[in-house]
Amino acid sequence: MSETIEDLVLRLARERGAGKTICPTEAAKAAAQQRGEEDWQGRLPAVKAAAVRLAKRGGVAIYRKGKPVDPEDFKGVYRIGLPDAAS
């Protein structure tokens, strides 16, 4: 049974560890691979949506230029990581 994209994003962020982030493409590629698909780019919107849902619940943080951003109000290149314990 395949992980949900939310579970996958959370697992990858936890595996990377505190203070480090993953690129959304890593999660998209892993999700596509789990399903035996080659089109990982088609998974990017689902990865972003999953990251936003997780960030709203505090499971991950979305970072731009190394700083956490509002999950409901960001554009452009971003990364996903565990929330900063000091936040």
pTM of the full structure: 0.92
Q: In this structure, is residue 87 part of a structural domain?
A: no
User: Does residue 25 belong to any structural domain of this protein?
Assistant: yes
Residue 13 lies in a domain: yes
What tokens appear for 17 in the block? 């560890």
pLDDT at 34: 93
With respect to residue 20, please indicate whether it lies within any of the assigned structural domains: yes
Please tell me the distance from the alpha carbon of residue 78 to that of residue 76, in angstroms, as a whole number. 6
Q: How many domains does the chain have?
A: 1
The answer to whether residue 86 sits within a structural domain is no
Where the chain has pLDDT below 70, the residues are: 1-2, 85-87
CB distance 68 to 12 below 8 Å: no
Enclosing domain of residue 75: 5-81
Distance CA(41)–CA(64), nearest Å, equals 20
In a domain, residue 48? The reply is yes
